[in-house]
Amino acid sequence: MDLAFVPPLYPPKGNRAIYEVKPFSSALHRNLYSQRTSPCLATAATQTSQASEFVVENKKHDLLRAIQETKRGLVATADQRSSIEEALVSVEGYNMGLPIDLIKLDGTWRLAYTSAPDVLILFEAAARLPFFQVGQIFQKFECRDQSNGGVIRNVVRWSIPTLLEEQEGATLLVSAKFDIVSARNIYLQFEEITIQNINVSEELQALIAPAILPRSFLSLQILQFIRTFRAQIPVGNPGSGRTILPFLFG
């Protein structure tokens, strides 16, 4: 099972975000399988390592159970948040002091739970407003070939019902560079916010270019403009800062 606790859209102040690697995989099953099929000696060190991995995997499952039914943190009660925090601290203890592994960090991670206000406000808006939807949220780290940092992209899939496709009508992309400053800290330098990948709903397409009528050059140009629309907004220094990357494990 691969999990990471990584920064939300902007540097947090005591907030938590839990991301699951996509596609989901179980390191517990993978490790046990490789150990059974490879030559090995039944040493005390190996047995201790396997026992430790088993304990960690159980704690990961406890953590995932704790965040279930919270709608990614939106409806989490104070008691639930307390239980989740305890589960987080319990798992963090196994990787405490280890350096950030950029190879493991590299990839796309799907948000499973957060307590960050800048993310929760999106969920709250979607719950209250019938014309706004928030789909999957990801963080993409590009750092496999780097030695001390890389690029992080926060990806938010959102939509406006009837105008855009359900859940994935458009994409909000927040890009930043990051540098490792210690075993537990990275420095984020946000660069830009982008709105892209707009997918028009069938209803809006029918309104712009009705299927029963020949599609004119103008209507096709309008559809093409919407689909390829891309807005970029530079982000200044106020959006930058140091944040904690508690741990990463696979």
3-state SS, one letter per residue, for the chain = CCEEECCCCCCCCCCCEEEEECCCCCHHHHHHHHHHHCCCCCCHHHHHHHHHHHHHHHHHHHHHHHHCCCCCCCCCCHHHHHHHHHHHHHHHCCCCCCCCCHHHHCEEEEEEEECCHHHHHHHHHHHHCCCCEEEEEEEEEECCCCCCEEEEEEEEEEECCCCECCCCCEEEEEEEEEEECCCCEEEEEEEEEEEECCCECHHHHHHHCCCCCCCCHHHHHHHHHHHHCCEEEECCHHHCEEEECCCEEC
Pull the structure tokens for residue 104: 């493991």
* pLDDT at position 215: 67
* pLDDT at position 36: 37
Mean predicted lDDT score pLDDT of the chain? 79
* pLDDT at position 149: 92
Rounded to whole angstroms, the Cα distance separating 133 from 161 reads 7
Tens digit of pLDDT for each residue in 5-17? 555 665 555 677 7
The backbone region for 127, taken as left when phi is positive above 0, alpha when psi lies in -120 to 50, beta otherwise, is alpha
* pLDDT at position 43: 43
Angle of the 78-92 helix axis to the 44-67 helix axis, nearest 10: 160
* pLDDT at position 250: 46
Tens digit of pLDDT for each residue in 217-236? 788 888 888 888 899 988 86
* pLDDT at position 74: 96
Query: Which segments of the chain have a pLDDT < 50?
Result: 23-46, 247-250
Tens digit of pLDDT for each residue in 17-45? 777 765 443 333 222 233 333 444 444 44
Which candidate, 87, 92, 81, 139, places its Cα nearest to that of 248? 92
* pLDDT at position 6: 56
Global pTM reads: 0.76
